[in-house]
Amino acid sequence: MTDDQAALEMRGINKSFAGNTVLADVSLSARAGEVHALVGENGAGKSTLMKILAGVYQPDAGEILIDGQRIRFARPSDALRSGIAMIYQELSLAPDLTVAENIFLGREPLSFALLRVVDRREMNTHAAGMLKAYGFKLDPRASIKRLSAADRQLVEITRATVEAKRVLVMDEPTSSLTAHEVEDLFHLIRELKTRGLAIIYISHRLEELDFIADRVTVLRDGRAIYSGVWGEISRAEIIRHMAGRELKEIFPPRAAARGETRLRITNLTRKGKFREVSLAVAAGEVVGIAGLAGAGRTELVETIFGAYHADGGEIVLDGSKLDKAQPDLSVAHGLGLLTEDRKRTGLCLNQPLASNLTLANLRALTSNWRLDKKREKAVAAEHIERLHIRPPDPDKTVALMSGGNQQKVLLARWLFADSQVFLLDEPTRGVDVAARSEIYRAINRLAERGAAIVMVSSDLPELLGMADRILVMRRGRLVAELDARQTTQEEILRHAAVDQGEQQAA
Amino acid sequence: MSDWIKRFIPFASLIALCVIIAVLEPRFLSSGNLASVARQTAVITVMAMGMTMVMVSGGIDLSVGSMMALAGVAGAFALAGGAPPVVGIMASMAAGGVCGFMNGAAITTLKIPPFIVTLGAMGIYRGIALLITDGKAVVGLPTSFGHLAEGNLFGIIPIPLLIVVIVAVAIHFVLSSTRLGRYCYAIGSNVEAARYAGVRVARCQIIFYLILGALAGLAGAIEAARLVTGQPTAGEGYELRVIAAVVIGGGSLSGGQGTVVGTIIGALIMGVLANGANLLGISSFTQQIVIGAVIVLAVTFDEFQRRRLETAGS
């Protein structure tokens, strides 16, 4: 496998959505038997590039070559047929089928040739053999819906190895795995390399790349900023390439005076999600919550907001107890939740921008039963201006807006609702760099005005840049409180990571 | 642009339909015939106004026909017992309102899909109507009550048309210019998002079903006035015509979309189609086929729009 020709080559890829350039002249080549790391911040264009490779999107310009042959993918099945397989971040398994059925979905072993009956026994044996070889402790007959997020990830990986003939793309494969499972995965990756697969490995955990990466490409704002052999430049340099500017510039300074405690949580528990969480947030303060996927962060803020009933504990907001678990009461008390999943719990997608923006505070626009639509337009225009929402059209259906602008609409919803305590769950997920700094600036203004802010984020540089204190959650518990000025990404991850002993205890 | 087309297509179809029928059969345009179209469509249109609200909020109510019958019978009992016409109408609306409230309360507290709850309610209300009347029509209504269906204002405007206009203006105002109306679209578009924005979803939903029930009661009173009896079998199959009116008018089964004006056009398209077919001597069997095809076309168009929006959003 020392053949110098690239197994996969993407040349001069350009892609834009609704006039926004997402990828500009990006080239990427991956050789057989090599792990090519693709790194970059949220919104740098990694996912779009990989979706082009998977045939989900068509590039506006540029070409894809497999073993030197130019190839066009009109649809995802074309890419699969060329031996390109993906492991997506959002899992894509069929929950009602078994592990084995998912692994062989669409390529089941058949018996009684003409009848095309699925040979279940053959499928289960084959799957069991693969899982054993990979070191994954899974029952091939188990139904997916009973598995943990980590186990599902392992199924997903196993399936992709069946599909992948030439290229395997892994998008943040370790995000929900334990340390031990990560080791198994790295072992498997080395094994797949010897089979001659080219592996594209997307991650923002640079430290884990030391174990597996052969080459690295850094994407920033839709451009390939650096490409070279792993280890050629230092990690610090890679981080600088990813950010493209000093941290100070992305995270504008904040001059907020600390006031009285506005939100106090005592021993809050929701069974199976989190246990005995206590925290307090003062006016003018930004408290960050870090943790791995599944640590219970989203469940915590949703429970504080009243979207779910707590099984125990107390929530006190500006001196009044919130114990009804009713979002309408929380909103009336000045609490606002910027949800993690804006399409599921945030936006009314087929409604206009203005009605999404004003939804949490229509009372302020009502007099004598009548909605003052002129004032609504004015309010929308004011917030569009303040947060630079694009396109600046209050009647625009939000489904047709970009993710970053949708997120700004939701933030504006809570600004207009005059919320005092903000729960921000992944406030910049899927948001481009320009929009991110505007969101950061808006958060700072809120803190300066005396709001108390809780910010859940998986983006560690963001937490380090924005929070005053960082709380780390692991398996439903708060395990550390760190001063954001003193701590490092490595320290946060050390607290957040689940070790083997704990995995078995749980 | 697409919004404009979506609004325009049902309206253009209605006009085209009227022109075609008028050319084939000039009697269509006589004031007598137009008044009878208005009278025939009034019952469906009144209920379709309430159904627009329920469907915009993402719900559906299959029990409207049964509520109408039960409410009509209730009003007829009051009238036969000597109550003045106004009290009879109020009794009908109250009975319908109670039925609607029960639907809304069951949907929100039991958390069962509205389709299932109201499918059950359809049987329950019809059964109650038949039980309390012993399956026979309630007779002995004062002849003056017939004015509600057959009377005219100033000698030319049919009373049912007047009722439709008042109801339509009221529901239009609620949907387009009140908080409740805005919540209705938000709930229908994404019920979870509405809840997370602090909307009291269950309370709103109960109000929507209650209003629909009260309007079904009003429709029941008009129907009873037309027949000058309270028929426990009235309104059978009306639920599909009411839902069809909303859907043809651009309302979406998946919620968040629909307008009063659209629904009126939808109801008129069906009314004109039926009237035109009668005038032209087309059998009622053929009419059913045509109306069925129109519904499928309207929903296809709606789906097409929705999918376009979804792909653009990704």
Question: Is residue A396 over pLDDT 70?
Answer: yes
Q: How far apart (Å, rounded) are the C-alpha atoms in residues B235 and B219?
A: 9
Q: Does domain B37-307 have CATH number 3.30.450?
A: no
Taking the CA of residue B169 and the nearest CA in chain A, the distance in Å comes to 14
Taking CB atoms and an 8 Å cutoff, what residues of chain A touch B192?
344-345
Quote the pLDDT of residue A233: 86
The reply to whether A346 touches chain B by the CB within 8 Å rule is: yes
Please indicate whether, in this complex, the C-beta atoms of A327 and B186 are within 8 angstroms of each other: no
Give the up-direction half-sphere exposure of residue A456: CA atoms within 13 A in the CB hemisphere.
Answer: 24
Phi and psi at A155, nearest 5°, equal -65, -45
Structure tokens at A412: 């504006």
Q: What is the pLDDT of residues A42-58, one digit of tens each?
A: 667 888 898 899 888 88
Dist CA A223 CA A40 (whole Å)? 10
Model pLDDT, residue A501: 47
CA A64 – CA A27 distance, rounded (Å): 9
Residue-wise burial string across B141-175, b where 16 or more C-beta atoms lie within 10 A, e elsewhere: beeebbebbeeeeeeeebbbbebbeebbeebbebb
In chain A, CATH 3.40.50.300 covers 8-248, 249-505
| Winning range, highest mean pLDDT, from A86-100, A483-497, B107-121, B268-282 | B107-121
Q: Which amino acid is at A288?
A: G
Q: Would you state the structure tokens that stand for residue B191, as one six-digit string? A: 């019920």
Tell me, what DSSP letter sits at residue A21? E
Q: What is the mean pLDDT of residues A451-477?
A: 92
d(CA B103, CA B115) in angstroms, rounded, equals: 10
CB pairs below 8 Å between A and B: how many? 84
> For B2, which residue in chain A has the nearest alpha carbon?
A397
Identify the helix (H) or strand (E) that includes residue A473.
strand A469-474
CA-based torsion, B248, B253, B259, B263: positive or negative: positive
The region of weakest confidence among A121-130, A258-267, A311-320, A356-365 is A121-130
pLDDT value of position A481: 94
- A350 vs B179, B200, B256: nearest CB: B256
Q: Does A77 score more than 60 pLDDT?
A: yes
| pLDDT tens-place string over residues A4-36 | 678 889 999 999 876 677 888 999 988 989 999
* Chain B nearest CA to A398, separation (Å): 8
Is the model's pLDDT at A154 over the cut of 50?
yes
User: A331–B182: do the CB atoms touch at under 8 Å?
Assistant: no
Tens digit of each residue's pLDDT (9 = 90 or more) over B172-230: 999 999 999 999 999 999 999 999 999 999 999 999 999 999 999 999 999 999 999 99
CB neighbour list of residue A401: distance below 8 Å, 6 or more residues apart: A353, A390, A391, A409
The pLDDT value recorded for residue A248 is 53
Q: What is the DSSP code (8-state) at residue A352?
A: B
DSSP B174-197: HHHHSHHHHHHHHHHH-HHHHHHT
Nearest to B178 among A351, A359, A371 (CB): A371
Give the sign of the dihedral formed by CA B44, CA B47, CA B50, CA B55.
negative
Pick B175 or A429 by higher pLDDT.
Answer: B175
Q: Looking at the predicted structure, is the pLDDT value of residue A113 above 70?
A: no
- Helix/strand/coil for A417: coil
Q: What is the pLDDT of residues B69-83, one digit of tens each?
A: 999 999 999 999 989
Superfamily name and number for A249-505: P-loop containing nucleotide triphosphate hydrolases (3.40.50.300)
pLDDT of residue A73: 87
Nearest to B177 among A307, A331, A370 (CB): A370
Identify all chain A residues contacting B200, using CB atoms and an 8 Å cutoff: 326, 328
Nearest to A233 by CA among A247, A249, A250, A213: A213
Phi and psi angles of residue B118, each rounded to the nearest 5 degrees, phi first: -80, -20
In angstroms, rounded to a whole number, what is the distance separating the alpha carbons of residues B267 and B246? 8
CATH superfamily of domain region A8-248? P-loop containing nucleotide triphosphate hydrolases (3.40.50.300)
H/E stretch holding B90 reads helix B85-110
CA separation for the pair B296, A394 (Å, rounded): 33
* Residue segments in chain B with a per-residue pLDDT below the cut of 70: 1-7, 305-314
pLDDT of A246 higher than 60: no
* CB A427, CB A407: distance < 8 Å: yes
Distance from CA of A301 to the nearest CA of B (A): 12
Contact A277, A300 (CB under 8 A): yes
pLDDT over 90 at A300, yes or no: yes
Q: What pLDDT was estimated at residue A417?
A: 93
Cβ <8 Å between A307 and B178:
no
Helix (H) or strand (E) holding A100: helix A99-103
pLDDT of residue A499: 58
